[in-house]
Amino acid sequence: MVYDAVIVGGGIVGLATGLKILKSRPDLKIAILEKEAQLAQHQTANNSGVIHSGLYYKPGSLKATNCINGYHELVNFCQEEKIPFEITGKVVVATREEQKPLLETLLNRGLQNGLTGTRKITLEELKEYEPYCTGVAAIHVPQTGIVDYFQVALAYGRKIIQQGGAIFLEHKALGISQKDGISHIETSKGSFQAKLVINCAGLYSDKVARMNDAGVNDVKIIPFRGEYYKLKKEREYLVKNLIYPVPDPNFPFLGVHFTRMKKGGVEAGPNAVLAFRREGYKKSQINLGELAETLAWPGFQKVAGKYWKTGFGELYRSFSKTAFTKALQELIPEIQESDLVDGGAGVRAQACDRTGGLLDDFAIRESQYAINVLNAPSPAATSSLSIGGTVAEMALKRF
């Protein structure tokens, strides 16, 4: 059988794409190939669970537009499908005087991105929102929420099946070739044929892009592990909802924060350290081949050369719970090392070009036989239905 489209990767982006295609064209034959025994086991199931508002992103960027559109679609989807979520709001807190202008810039960005109600708050108001948090200035973002993205992804999967799509678990795409206008996808459990391949392979999206005809050799995924601690149950009262620091404009994903999780508990983190394996959730997990590839990538060498101090700071905090606690104490001075227990980790797929740029925006690239989602880091879970819609539109033009 020749599928109209085969989607490689059953994470939240691949599933949202499948769902959007089937919503517009239920007659199309769509298959999703996922290498694991369950859907969405990587970035989607190991993230902070925040429904991002669109505060951080450059107005007009794909991140800004997809986050804002995706936010509304996600909230509607959760309401319709009865997936528990909460619009909690969050505070972003400057803890040092020099962060005040950055906080101001952030607020203006949020307003440019249409976040009405986002505003500067007084330090008294900060105490009302988060009684244990201290700082020198703060903003409140009412739109931010929390959800369990694994549950969202499973719901997308159920809808795909209801609408006639097929999901093949434990089917790892190993190679792709073209013959007579059709792509032949070799997997760990047999071969598939498709008119169009859609690559949503997350941490392996560059590898799958090299398999298809897109000729992508200018981008590599660099895996950054984000490690969390959890607050002990009896200290969860220290955090009401979500408390964020002012982000470093060079590394918006850095800066440990506090997040109340929809599935329960309060997480502190994540940091960002180079993972020695793409799916390396523990410090001890190393894949020498993958590590060598990362280290040999010219773009990574340039990033490492430029930002080695930041990298070492993150690494130090990864090995030293005392240092991690100290970073958290900037926001909540009362937090003690003994309040924190191990909270697991996620690995971010961050695309890096040859010349040393970490790709900031979402990146989708088309070729004759394929559409490749090459960079879908945070807020891609929030934005999933919008990114899925964008990819679906590209795909539907071909049918």
Ligand X SMILES: Cc1cc2nc3c(=O)[nH]c(=O)nc-3n(C[C@H](O)[C@H](O)[C@H](O)COP(=O)(O)OP(=O)(O)OC[C@H]3O[C@@H](n4cnc5c(N)ncnc54)[C@H](O)[C@@H]3O)c2cc1C
CA–CA separation, 332 vs 317, rounded Å?
17
| One of 66, 378, 386, 390 touching ligand X (CB under 6 A) | 378
Instruction: Tell me the closest approach of the beta carbon of residue 383 to ligand X, in angstroms.
Output: 7
Do the strands 363-366 and 370-375 form a parallel or antiparallel pair, or are they unpaired? antiparallel
Could you give phi then psi for residue 249, rounded to 5 degrees?
-60, -25
Cα dihedral angle (73, 77, 80, 85), rounded to 10 degrees? -110
Query: Which residues sit opposite 340 in a β-bridge?
Result: 231
What is the rounded end-to-end Cα distance, in angstroms, of the chain? 17
When asked if residue 200 is in the footprint of ligand X (CB under 6 A), the reply is yes
| One of 9, 54, 388, 389 touching ligand X (CB under 6 A) | 9
Taking CB under 6 A as the binding criterion, the range among 4-12, 157-165, 298-306, 350-358 that sits at the site for ligand X is: 4-12
When asked if residue 278 is in the footprint of ligand X (CB under 6 A), the reply is no
User: Tokens 């169009």 correspond to what residue?
Assistant: 196
Chain position whose Cβ is nearest to ligand X: 11
Range 43-72, binding ligand X (CB under 6 A): 43-44, 46-50, 52
Measured over the CA atoms of residue 186, residue 190, residue 194 and residue 199, the dihedral's sign is negative
Considering beta carbons, is residue 204 or 297 the nearer one to ligand X? 204
Instruction: Tell me the closest approach of the beta carbon of residue 282 to ligand X, in angstroms.
Output: 14
Taking CB under 6 A as the binding criterion, the range among 201-209, 213-221, 284-292, 294-302 that sits at the site for ligand X is: 201-209
CA–CA separation, 238 vs 231, rounded Å?
9
When asked if residue 11 is in the footprint of ligand X (CB under 6 A), the reply is yes
Instruction: Tell me the closest approach of the beta carbon of residue 86 to ligand X, in angstroms.
Output: 13
| One of 36, 213, 236, 330 touching ligand X (CB under 6 A) | 36
HSE of 279, CA atoms in CB hemisphere, 13 A: 13
When asked if residue 201 is in the footprint of ligand X (CB under 6 A), the reply is yes
When asked if residue 376 is in the footprint of ligand X (CB under 6 A), the reply is yes
Instruction: Tell me the closest approach of the beta carbon of residue 106 to ligand X, in angstroms.
Output: 17
| One of 20, 35, 63, 230 touching ligand X (CB under 6 A) | 35
Size of residue set near ligand X by CB under 6 A: 42
CA–CA separation, 333 vs 315, rounded Å?
22
Closest residue by Cα to residue 74 from 16, 117, 115, 25 = 16
When asked if residue 382 is in the footprint of ligand X (CB under 6 A), the reply is yes
